[in-house]
Amino acid sequence: MSHPFRKTSVPMADGRELLYFDDTEPWLSGERVRDAVDHRPLAPADETLRGGSQVRFDPLTGDWIAMASHRNDRTLMPPPDQDPLAPTVPGGFPTEIADSSYDVVAFENRFPSFSNRIGGEAGFLDGEDLWPTRPAAGRCEVVCFTSDTHGSFATLPPHRARTVLEAWIDRTEALNATEGVEQVFVFENRGAEIGVTLPHPHGQIYGYPYVTPKTTAMLRRAREHREATGRNLFRDVLDAERRAGHRVVLSTEHFTAYVPAAARWPVEVHLAPHRDVPDLAALTDAERTDLVGAYLDLLGRLDRYYPDDHPMPYIAGWFQAPAHEGRDEFRLHLQVFSVQRGPGKVKFLAGSESAMAAWINDTTPEKVAARLREVSQ
């Protein structure tokens, strides 16, 4: 049986869209409807975002770089009673969610790097054909995992984690079909060490107007591998890791988590399905159920990795096939990694990594995998 939830779309005060994903009563059955009104005196998003962001081409690398100066004024670590992702309680601070309770919500980011509301035309910076520019089209969304102001995805009960997964899938399908979106990226940043600006348990979804540099590089390698061997590179990597075994962290019926042989970060784990699928939306119901258990297990091990009882800061990102290309070559997988290289120690990306993208790891993948197996419950 598929996971039951009710999706409801409501307008926000400035015209952005907010989506409720309810898995509890009385909302699930529709006995009550989401009819709270956002009364904040906000200017229309179409006006505030128009012309606010553009992407510029870097001729030295072939990358598109977003210029989003309006994001410099976004909310930064507000006091607990001004959490913009909490429900709006009577007489309290008016938040992004007008209702007094919710299960899971997704909404358009108020300070997006990419938005189809931006408008504008493509052109050339300073009239030079070296520097093509175009509007930073696309869409950026926030996904709140819970109305609770503390925790993260790792602390969710399985039922709620499954609802978040269904929200990710819903938004992946919708954004893949959105004009101007070339790739959808679902991710969570956790911890001050990562640079999180809002501690409320949440993640984000980016609908990029281009295929990202990292995905472009992986697709190039996958196509070269296909031409040379006739096989899928991502499948071959997963099969090789499973054969070697000593970097495997956990394995379930449908998923395997492993520390990659050439891991860049102090702690880095990839989680991949056993079946070849391009994105989250392609997972079966059984795979989705299995994924929730495997992912929560993995995140729990990360929090037990260091003996300091401090939740590990991490970035967790779902790598999915682009919307319009490479869907046969690319393969869904999660990459989760941390900058924490020891209790109270952070790996800073200094000269070699930041300037030259030449990575140096301070440990070995085999040691990391052994530790993650050791802290299994």
Residue 202 among the catalytic residues: yes
When mean pLDDT is compared over 38-52, 195-209, 272-286, 345-359, the highest value belongs to 272-286
Q: Which two tokens stand for residue 329?
A: 């070559």
Cα separation of 200 and 97, whole Å? 13
User: Cα-Cα-Cα-Cα dihedral of 22, 25, 26, 31, to 10°?
Assistant: 90
Burial of 373 (0-12, 13-18, 19+ CB in 10 A): middle
Instruction: Tell me whether residue 1 is in a domain.
Output: no
Residue 240 falls inside a structural domain = yes
How far, in Å, CA of 301 to CA of 153, rounded? 13
Residues 89 and 136 in one domain: yes
Question: Could you report the per-residue pLDDT of 174-217, keeping only the tens digit for each?
Answer: 999 999 999 999 999 998 888 888 889 999 999 999 999 999 99
Q: How far apart are CA 257 and CA 266, in angstroms?
A: 16
Task: Say what the pLDDT of residue 163 is.
Answer: 98
Which ranges of 55-135 would DSSP assign to H, the alpha helix?
none
Is residue 309 a part of any domain in this protein? yes
Same domain, 364 and 302: yes
Segments forming the whole domain that contains residue 348: 214-374
Asked which of 64-73, 149-158, 286-295 is least confident by mean pLDDT, the reply is 64-73
User: Is residue 125 domain-shared with residue 224, that is, in the same domain?
Assistant: no
Please give the Cα distance from 131 to 126 (Å, whole number).
8
Binning pLDDT at 50, 70 and 90, where does residue 52 land? confident
Position 76 scores a pLDDT of 60
pLDDT of the residue at 195: 80
Mean pLDDT, the chain, integer: 94
Does residue 258 form part of some domain? yes
Q: What are phi and psi of 182, to 5 degrees?
A: -110, -25
pLDDT at position 299 over 70: yes
Q: Indicate if the pLDDT at residue 44 is higher than 90.
A: yes
All residues at 6 or more sequence positions from 126 whose CB lies less than 8 Å from its CB, including other chains = none
Contact call for residues 291 and 153 (beta carbons, < 8 A): no
Catalytic residue among 202, 225, 254, 270: 202
Position 374 scores a pLDDT of: 97
Indicate whether 255 belongs to any domain: yes
Angle formed at CA 304 by CA 298 and CA 310, multiple of 5 degrees: 120
pTM of structure: 0.96
The bridge status of strand 248-251 relative to strand 255-258 is antiparallel
195 and 228 assigned to the same domain: no
- According to DSSP H, which parts of 177-329 are helical? 213-229, 233-244, 285-303
**What's the CATH number where 41 sits?**
3.30.428.10
Say if 268 falls within a structural domain. Answer: yes
Residue 183, pLDDT score: 98
Give the distance between the most distant pair of CA atoms in the chain. 65
Regarding whether 233 and 192 lie in a shared domain, the answer is: no
Clarify whether residues 251 and 300 are in a common domain.
yes
**Domain end point (choices 148, 177, 209):** 209
124/154 same-domain check: yes
The half-sphere exposure of 76 on its side-chain side, counting CA atoms within 13 A, is: 5
54 in any annotated domain: yes
Domain boundary (194, 209, 224) is at 209
Statement to judge: residues 60 and 194 lie in one domain: yes
Query: Are 310 and 343 within 8 A, CB to CB?
Result: yes
Report the pLDDT value the prediction gives residue 301, as an integer from 0 to 100.
Answer: 97
- Give the integer Cα–Cα distance in Å for 123 and 371: 52
Of 161, 177, 209, the residue at which a domain comes to its end is 209
| pLDDT higher than 60, residue 240 | yes
Angstrom distances, CA of residue 219 to CA of 64, 187, 275: 17, 20, 18
- The answer on pLDDT for 72 being more than 60 is no
Closest CA to 331 of 289, 270, 266: 270
Token pair of 128 as six digits = 């030079």
pLDDT at 293 over 60: yes
User: Residue 275, Cβ neighbours under 10 Å: how many?
Assistant: 14
Least confident interval from 39-48, 57-66, 96-105, 306-315: 306-315
Say if residue 85 is in the same domain as residue 176. yes
Number of domains making up the chain: 2
Same domain as 189, residue 112? yes
Please state the rounded mean pLDDT for residues 50-76: 83
- The answer on 273 and 190 residing in a single domain is no
As beta bridge partners, residue 182 has: none
At residue 4, does pLDDT exceed 80?
yes
Same domain, 16 and 148: yes
